[in-house]
Amino acid sequence: MSDTIESGDKVEVQWKGTKFSGMFISKDEKVTVIKLQNGYNLSLENSSIGSISLLSKFVQRKFSEEKVTGEGKRVFVLGTGGTIASYVDYETGAVKPAETPQEMLHAQPDLAKIASIGTEIILNILSEDMQKADWINIAKKVYERISERDGVVITHGTDVLSFTSSALSFLIENPKAPIVFTASQRSPDRPSSDAFFNLKGAVRVAQSDVGQVCVVMHSSTSDDALDIHSGVRLRKMHSSRRDAFKSINSEPIGRVDRDLRIQWRKYEKINEKPMKLYDKLSEKVGLLYFYPGLSEELFEKFAQVNDGLILAGTGLGHITNRFASRVKEYTSQGKIIGMTTQCLYGAVDLEVYTTGRNLLEAGVIPLHDMLPEVAYTKLSFLLGNFDVDTARNLLDKNLRGEISERRTE
């Protein structure tokens, strides 16, 4: 390889008799990585490379402060951090988190081909550091943008993505433009990165007529399609695979193919009802995963500091019978206690066993097939914005598609 080839340059590579042209990203002792025009990174073993020639030198892209005029409907990309926020700095070859909108787009020049893109970096954190105040801040920024009828894409870390998508689902009622989350399991410098396809698919969904918060991520380990999940129905089910996200107790609401065509299943369209932003989340709501050996003392402390408790119980929705009288004490003080299942799949049913019936009798509210994190963000939303009786009454009602109307099992 010529010494003059640097990260960002356009090159042509002869590999096993085939020619590939793209942007040179990096070379180590084993592989050379180039980014193809479709955004995918191609990793070629050095031993099979015949030659690499320089087509043109990298020219630093100049972005206006916020917007890139592209073809297609306007989409605003709001960055909050996570792996997807990292980009390859072609000048140094380093991978670093994007700190400015220009840097964010620098890694994704192809986006301008499908949309007119605006960007803003609201946060630059790992998602495990998210706080409820961050969810409110994100909701306010999203609300501002969708009031202008721009679709919004929020880039986020994968770890607590389902909490944030759920919080936004409740905080913004009847969105007037799509609100689409996306993330990546592998950083953009890695040949197997899912960042580019996920982001492009999310931008495409943000140009549609979807009127519910959704999340766009790889549907399999290959790059053939993306699933569109409802923001209140998904869970990260694998720590590292690119298809880590699955819709639970419901089907994905749609799919994006390789050519960025969308096939919808059942989804909520933007409607004419007034859009509303709620800007509070109660800090006095907790989520507790019950386990054998959980002490009464710990349970008590947890219940005392909160006004609302979501329990992730075992099986059909159980915790030890030893806590039943405590539970009754708390519900008679006005605290709200909702039951979900740590099984994730299926619904709670407190009528089947004595344990469940005791909990029902103690005032526990069964939350059907709602996921624990969804119940947690929902109760935080309800206690933050409504009086306690309304909150109690709405907790087990389906507000945003978080509870199946009809269950087959």
Name the residues that contact ligand GLU, by CB under 6 A: 82-83, 126-128, 157-159, 183
Cβ distance to ligand GLU smaller for residue 126 or 294: 126
* Minimum distance, C-beta of residue 126 to ligand GLU, in the bound complex (Å): 4
Per the annotation, the verdict on 236 as an active-site residue is yes
Rounded Cα distance, 165 and 218, in Å:
17
Cβ distance to ligand GLU smaller for residue 153 or 183: 183
Are the beta carbons of 204 and 178 closer than 8 angstroms? no
Cβ distance to ligand GLU smaller for residue 133 or 305: 133
Rounded Cα distance, 258 and 189, in Å:
21
Element (H, E) at 350: none
Among 67, 73, 140, 236, the one annotated catalytic: 236
Among 89, 100, 110, 159, the one annotated catalytic: 159
Cβ distance to ligand GLU smaller for residue 164 or 230: 164
Rounded Cα distance, 287 and 296, in Å:
16
How far from the centroid of its chain's Cα atoms is residue 187's Cα? 16
Among 9, 10, 35, 83, the one annotated catalytic: 83
Contacts of 109 (CB under 8 A, 6+ apart): 61
Rounded Cα distance, 406 and 409, in Å:
9
Are the beta carbons of 80 and 127 closer than 8 angstroms? yes
The residue of the chain with the least Cβ separation from ligand GLU equals 157
* Minimum distance, C-beta of residue 85 to ligand GLU, in the bound complex (Å): 8
How far from the centroid of its chain's Cα atoms is residue 62's Cα? 29
Of 127, 90, 103, 129, which Cα lies nearest the Cα of 10? Answer: 90
What Rg, from alpha-carbon coordinates, does the chain have? 24
* Minimum distance, C-beta of residue 177 to ligand GLU, in the bound complex (Å): 25
Per the annotation, the verdict on 279 as an active-site residue is no
Rounded Cα distance, 310 and 160, in Å:
17
* Minimum distance, C-beta of residue 225 to ligand GLU, in the bound complex (Å): 20
Per the annotation, the verdict on 83 as an active-site residue is yes
Contacts of 335 (CB under 8 A, 6+ apart): 303, 306, 307, 308, 309
Rounded Cα distance, 244 and 237, in Å:
5
Rounded Cα distance, 321 and 357, in Å:
10
Cβ distance to ligand GLU smaller for residue 7 or 80: 80
Cβ distance to ligand GLU smaller for residue 32 or 108: 108
Are the beta carbons of 380 and 285 closer than 8 angstroms? yes
Are the beta carbons of 339 and 348 closer than 8 angstroms? yes
Rounded Cα distance, 338 and 323, in Å:
14
Cβ distance to ligand GLU smaller for residue 125 or 388: 125
Q: List active site positions.
A: 83, 158-159, 236
